[in-house]
């Protein structure tokens, strides 16, 4: 089930722990989320093949296939996704062409 949502990702902090503001818009409603991503986690998961913003966007595409935008936490660390969805790591790596 593909989402009809528009996902915008803006990096708002550029440290070792990057922060992103993600806005998910559908029809007449939208949600906003704050996501933190450690640079080491980004490198380990993507082998540097895609930018952090692209990883966050693809991760939200995955999340929206699992649940409505209103069910996605408003603020969370990226690593939390795999705790809720054990297939996330292998699925996201398949989508970005890693391993």
What are 82-93's pLDDT values in tens digits? 999 999 999 999
Q: What integer pLDDT is reported at residue 4 of this predicted model?
A: 79
Q: Is the pTM of this model over 0.85?
A: yes
The answer to whether the Cα torsion of 69, 75, 81, 85 is positive or negative is: negative
Report the share of the chain in percent with pLDDT over 90: 88
Below-50 pLDDT ranges, the chain = 1
| Polymer length in residues for the chain | 99
- Assess contact for 44 and 79: CB atoms under 8 A: no
Sign of CA dihedral 4, 42, 83, 96: positive
Locate the DSSP E strands across 1-99: 6-14, 17-26, 29-38, 75-77
């Amino acid at each position: 089930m593909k989402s009809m949502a528009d996902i915008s990702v803006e990096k708002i902090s550029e440290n070792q722990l990057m922060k992103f503001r993600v806005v998910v818009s559908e029809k007449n409603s939208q949600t906003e989320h704050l996501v933190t991503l450690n640079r080491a986690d980004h490198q380990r998961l993507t082998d540097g093949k895609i930018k952090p913003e692209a990883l966050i966007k693809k991760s939200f595409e995955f999340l929206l296939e699992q649940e409505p935008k209103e069910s996605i936490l408003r603020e969370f660390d990226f690593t939390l996704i795999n705790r809720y969805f054990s297939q996330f790591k292998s699925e996201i790596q398949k989508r970005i062409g890693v391993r």
